[in-house]
Structure 1
Amino acid sequence: MTTRIVIHAGFHKTGTTSAQSMLRENSAILDPHVRVFLKEAFEDLTERARAFSIDPKKRTLTTVARAAVAFFDQVARDDPRPILMSSEDLSGHMPGRHGLECYDSAGLVMKCLSDAAFRHFGPDTDVTFYFSTRSPEPWLRSTWWQNLRSTRLTDDFETYVSQFDAARSLDDILEEIAVDIAPARVTSFQLEEAADLPLGPLDPLLTLLELTDLDRSALRVLPPENVQPDLGIDAVFLALNKSALPEKDVQEAKRVVRKMARRFDP
């Protein structure tokens, strides 16, 4: 029996939260067809991947490899259902944090995952790494917003973008990952294109899994999540981040503003 494994390992701010929410929402329908593992099922692995992204040393990579082996070792070999893992944190910290400009460490992390999968399930295992992507400008704007609301980032958008290498795209990272993880495969789908599919960002994942007996029309579609509201509150958050207010007060103020913004969310 050949086990099919699809690993949705990124990228941040490309509809991953929306896809994962629909996986949770529809778990009862999906469970007879696919074994779904979200971040909470391999949190140690994601923590090791994030640590490696900001400290890419042999020592930290070894901890990633050990965590990958530990995860797959507890997954049953005799279950015929395919496996889906989904967490953008497998690619490391989101760019814009800890001085990171892109996902330079992702290929080595994926190699640890593929090695562990082949070790556990055998060399004929069908392993595919799937990455949701996004056009450069909206992706950078979305990572800026996420960092703005979650950290004390004090750069406006123009300053933030100037720190990134404009010649290095997510597609470049995917090409490097494909070299690192062969004979496993890499595939991707752009968020802008997924928006027109019946199940949005979840659609490409289900297609990769080839769940021929699944009635997709029975699945509940959820609205996009974690979207920046178009209300100008980014300027408010930027001012809060630049203020001398204590961290606790800044986070509380952001929470209140976000709650107010949700009242106007259509």
Structure 2
Amino acid sequence: MPRRIIIHAGFHKTGTSTLQATLRENRAALKKHVALRLRWHMREIVAASRGYSTDQDPLTLIKVQARFGRMINELPGMPRRTLIISSEELCGHLPGRGKLESYAAAPVLLYAYWEIVKTRFPEADILIYLSTRSPGAWLASAHWEHVKSSNMTLDFDAFCARYAGAADLSGMVSEVAARVPAPVHAHALEDCRDLPLGPAQPLLDLCDIPAEDMAALTPCPPKNSRLDADVLTAMIEANRNHKTPEARNAAKADILKKARRA
């Protein structure tokens, strides 16, 4: 049985890619102390959680529970280690996807995960960890992500006007803490800049790893950094001007290729 289980379920655009890359790149060094279940271990679970976030259909929640429960029941023995379950999509889609305007599904999903883990491992120490970011920085990063990966045509001001409520990540942390009977830990991306392991540091600090082993871990450079504003503008125009997904994707890939060569 794991000694401790940490559910890291969000939020998007808060350094999660860098955090998970750090865990992955250090998995051999962490193995004695930490077991990992990351996004690629949970494709069916995150697909269901995304589906639930968009419609909050009870049948989809049952699907989430069944898939998450199957993963937990199939875990090998990992005595005295900490199990980290990490994927920002365990909270569903990034707000801005279709009609999704908030993280309203997050407390329901996190309660479901907690309940399953508590039933399977009643003696384990179960924690929830949520990475956050200041509202303005989160809105800028979320807007960039949607323009890059979807057909979004909203400019930044319009995006902020529509999704300002979703950017209150601290408020959502408080709501999760009020609705899920587990300790909830949160740390802002802005406070991780000078930490040795960047955004992975506060999560790993919860694992009680000996200081000498922590010191041997290797940080990863930031992932998914935004490019200049003119690149964003060009991609919005591509979304507006190209009517088929194939044409949009090709145009945006060309924009990104040229920007990264510059």
Give the TM bin, normalised by the shorter chain: over 0.9
Instruction: Evaluate the alpha carbon distance shift between residue 253 and residue 2 of structure 1 in structure 2; reply closer, same or farther with a 3 A threshold.
Output: closer
Which position in structure 2 is the counterpart of 1:38?
A: 38
Which position in structure 1 is the counterpart of 2:242?
A: 244
Which ranges of structure 2 fall in alignment gaps of 5 or more residues?
Answer: none
Between the aligned partners of 2:26 and 2:76, the Cα distance in structure 1 is 22
CA contact (8 A) 1:48 1:60 kept: yes
Does structure 1 residue 89 correspond to structure 2 residue 89? yes
Between the aligned partners of 1:95 and 1:235, the Cα distance in structure 2 is 21
Aligned with residue 218 of structure 1, among 216, 219, 239 = 216
SS in 2 for 1:159: helix
Between the aligned partners of 2:193 and 2:113, the Cα distance in structure 1 is 29
How far did residue 164 of structure 1 move?
Answer: 2.2
How far did residue 77 of structure 1 move?
Answer: 4.3
Instruction: Evaluate the alpha carbon distance shift between residue 142 and residue 166 of structure 1 in structure 2; reply closer, same or farther with a 3 A threshold.
Output: same
Which position in structure 2 is the counterpart of 1:111?
A: 111
Q: Which moved more, 1:90-99 or 1:171-180?
A: 171-180
Which position in structure 1 is the counterpart of 2:199?
A: 201
Letter of the 2:128 counterpart: F
Q: Which moved more, 1:83-92 or 1:169-178?
A: 169-178
Letter of the 2:254 counterpart: V
Instruction: Evaluate the alpha carbon distance shift between residue 167 and residue 260 of structure 1 in structure 2; reply closer, same or farther with a 3 A threshold.
Output: closer
Identity percentage of aligned residues: 35
Which ranges of structure 1 fall in alignment gaps of 5 or more residues?
Answer: none
Between the aligned partners of 1:257 and 1:31, the Cα distance in structure 2 is 41
Does structure 1 residue 48 correspond to structure 2 residue 48? yes
Q: Which moved more, 1:159-168 or 1:226-235?
A: 159-168
Instruction: Evaluate the alpha carbon distance shift between residue 228 and residue 2 of structure 1 in structure 2; reply closer, same or farther with a 3 A threshold.
Output: closer
Which position in structure 1 is the counterpart of 2:138?
A: 139
Q: Show CA shifts across 1:89-147 (max 9, x none).
A: 0010001112222210011111111111111111x321111111000011001000000
TM-score between the two structures when normalised by the length of structure 1 = 0.93
CA contact (8 A) 2:3 2:124 kept: yes
CA contact (8 A) 1:3 1:125 kept: yes
Which position in structure 1 is the counterpart of 2:6?
A: 6
Between the aligned partners of 1:168 and 1:220, the Cα distance in structure 2 is 31
CA contact (8 A) 1:95 1:101 kept: yes
Which position in structure 1 is the counterpart of 2:157?
A: 158
Q: Which moved more, 1:227-236 or 1:152-161?
A: 227-236
Instruction: Evaluate the alpha carbon distance shift between residue 221 and residue 213 of structure 1 in structure 2; reply closer, same or farther with a 3 A threshold.
Output: closer
Does structure 1 residue 258 correspond to structure 2 residue 256? yes
How far did residue 86 of structure 1 move?
Answer: 0.8
Instruction: Evaluate the alpha carbon distance shift between residue 167 and residue 259 of structure 1 in structure 2; reply closer, same or farther with a 3 A threshold.
Output: closer
CA RMSD of aligned residues (A): 1.7
Paired residues in the alignment total 262
Letter of the 1:234 counterpart: L
CA contact (8 A) 1:3 1:121 kept: no
How far did residue 195 of structure 1 move?
Answer: 1.1
Instruction: Evaluate the alpha carbon distance shift between residue 24 and residue 5 of structure 1 in structure 2; reply closer, same or farther with a 3 A threshold.
Output: same
Q: Show CA shifts across 1:154-192 (max 9, x none).
A: 11000111112449711221122112220x111100000
Aligned pairs for 1:179-198 within 5 A: 179-182=178-181, 184-198=182-196
CA contact (8 A) 2:136 2:167 kept: no
Q: Show CA shifts across 1:232-256 (max 9, x none).
A: 2001001000003421121122112
Instruction: Report runs of 4+ in structure 1 exceeding 3 Å deviation.
Output: 165-168
CA contact (8 A) 1:73 1:120 kept: yes
Which position in structure 1 is the counterpart of 2:63?
A: 63
